[in-house]
Amino acid sequence: MADKSYQAVMGRRPEIMRKAVGIDYDSFESGSLAFDYETMMSKAAFSLDKIREIQRATGIGNTPLLEMKNLTALARHYAAPGKGARIFVKDEACNPSGSFKARRASVSAYYAKTKGYPGLVSATSGNYGAGIASQAAMLGLKAIVVQEVFDSRGLGQPEILEKGRACEAYGAEVLQLTVGPELFYTFLLVLEETGFFNASLYTPFSITGIETLGVEIAEQCQSLLGKKPDVVVATNAGGGNLTGTARGLIKAGCADTKIVAASVDLSGLHMASDKDFNRKSFTTGHTGFGVPFTTSPDRADVPRNAARPLRYMDRYVTITQGEVFFMTEALAQVEGLERGPAGNTSLAAAFSIAQEMDQDQIVVVQETEYTGAGKHPSPQLTFASANGIEVRRGDPKDNIPGQRIVIPENPGQIKAVELPLEKLRQSYLKHNLASVKDGKVSAADMEYLAAEINLPPAEAEAMIQAALKEGK
Ligand SMILES: Cc1ncc(COP(=O)(O)O)c(C=O)c1O
């Protein structure tokens, strides 16, 4: 019998992973910093047409693009004359499991089924588990979701509990854990013991599954409005949502569309900390995931992360928890759409960004998610208050992550805050150049890094040289 100690299981990680994802990652490696990202994306997954066919078969996609006429009017009320772009929302809550994560799960489920895996395993605290469970149910596969739920007092946030409930409702077995390194250990052990497929969030299957979302936005804007969107705002955490959507937009010819990442500002809180775990009132779409995954994407559960958001973003903005809670209620009460928390992060950002744009421009909020039970603002805010967080009305500038949630007094106070891309690029280089020993970067690595930080070659090289000097 295999040794199940923590060290032994972690030591078997490469072989467990190899069996469980069916991708030979080594074949895309160059032996240095660079790897062949585009070849990995095209060879390891399926063509766009095939993915559309896979998704059509399980009722995924073709979600409506809805104009937010009343929110647009409200944004114009606070904007300078002539400003206030038209705001549209891609209603991803209409997917089978209630979020865009159904797209992300669909290709893995299809692949696992065709390759004869008996089931799927995913390590997630969120909507992705529901996507996996729902897809598994449709294809007659088993699903196991390993979920980080509780702090060491045994307390779990209402939003996380609701997401776990959804996974169970779709027939998955849910393993509920406390915060800490046991999540990855348990995940590996489950993969090894079951022989199920690793439906990682970060494989080419997952990310190409999201490309259809970008393609649909482009097609729907073209047919409804006769043009491509000027700006698309995507809620950013692990980076797959933004990466897949941006790649889809590019494939559909949206070369000039600006991609904006939006995350809830949770600066100062530590994601792996037992104490901080329940001091945040958003479980995804926040900077606690968004910043580390943007600046160091290969921290994922597979050797190379197919989600590489820094390659695609034109801007990264943050928004406070109180502003998102406000926008969740505004969407319900002004537009008559009750939707879940994460998508409203980009809606709050879009509401602010629309005010910088001209009235004939188009801003698309790239997704919504379903809402229900613990996902609503009231249980989350009640839980926050019970855990010592101050909740009050006021100026969102007074918000302090983990200490105070300030719900704006009026929508004019909602303001997206810029997270400078230059800082993120420098941080990316700091993480990724750490293994460079002699201070020399080959021409191929230079080209790879320029694509990774999304800068023209000369600008990228200057920044890389400066980072190398600093790292000495
Ligand atoms: C509804 C919703 N929106 C956005 C995100 C962020 O996606 P990503 O982690 O790929 O950046 C998530 C991920 O948890 C989500 O569930």
- Asked whether residue 467 carries a pLDDT value surpassing 80, the answer given is yes
pLDDT of residue 126: 85
233 close to ligand 1 (CB < 6 Angstrom) = no
Q: Which atom of ligand 1 is nearest to the CA of 235?
A: 4
pLDDT of residue 14: 86
Q: What angle do CA 64, 68, 74 make, to 5 degrees?
A: 170
95 close to ligand 1 (CB < 6 Angstrom) = no
126 close to ligand 1 (CB < 6 Angstrom) = yes
* Closest CA to ligand 1's atom 2: 342
345 close to ligand 1 (CB < 6 Angstrom) = no
Instruction: Summarize pLDDT for 418-466 with one digit per residue, the tens.
Output: 999 999 999 999 999 988 877 789 999 999 999 999 999 999 999 999 9
Nearest to 314 by CA among 241, 231, 215: 231
What is the 201 CA–ligand 1 centroid distance (Å)? Answer: 10
239 close to ligand 1 (CB < 6 Angstrom) = yes
Instruction: Summarize pLDDT for 283-308 with one digit per residue, the tens.
Output: 899 999 999 999 999 988 889 999 99
pLDDT of residue 225: 97
Q: What is the mean pLDDT of the chain?
A: 95
Tokens of 77: 């009320």
pLDDT of residue 219: 98
pLDDT of residue 260: 98
- Asked whether residue 472 carries a pLDDT value surpassing 80, the answer given is no
List C-alpha distances in Å: 272 to 151, 211, 269, 275.
10, 30, 9, 9
- Asked whether residue 196 carries a pLDDT value surpassing 80, the answer given is yes
Q: What angle do CA 236, 237, 238 make, to 5 degrees?
A: 115
- Asked whether residue 471 carries a pLDDT value surpassing 80, the answer given is no
pLDDT of residue 389: 96
Distance CA 220, CA 63 (A): 10
Other C-beta atoms within 10 Å of 395: how many? 11
What is the 91 CA–ligand 1 centroid distance (Å)? Answer: 14
Answer with the residue of higher pLDDT: 112 or 1.
Answer: 112
288 close to ligand 1 (CB < 6 Angstrom) = no
Name the helix (H) or strand (E) containing 103. helix 101-114
The DSSP result for 32-95, as a single string, is SS-B-HHHHHHHSS--HHHHHHHHHHTT-----EEE-HHHHHHHHHHSPTTB-PEEEEE-GGGS
Distance CA 130, CA 438 (A): 47
pLDDT of residue 270: 85
Does the global pTM surpass 0.85? yes
The DSSP result for 104-147, as a single string, is HHHHHHHHHHHTT-SEEEEE-SSHHHHHHHHHHHHHT-EEEEEE
122 close to ligand 1 (CB < 6 Angstrom) = no
Alpha helices, H only, 311-388: 321-335, 341-354, 377-386
* Closest CA to ligand 1's atom 16: 127
Instruction: Summarize pLDDT for 89-125 with one digit per residue, the tens.
Output: 999 999 999 999 999 999 999 999 999 999 999 998 7
342 close to ligand 1 (CB < 6 Angstrom) = yes
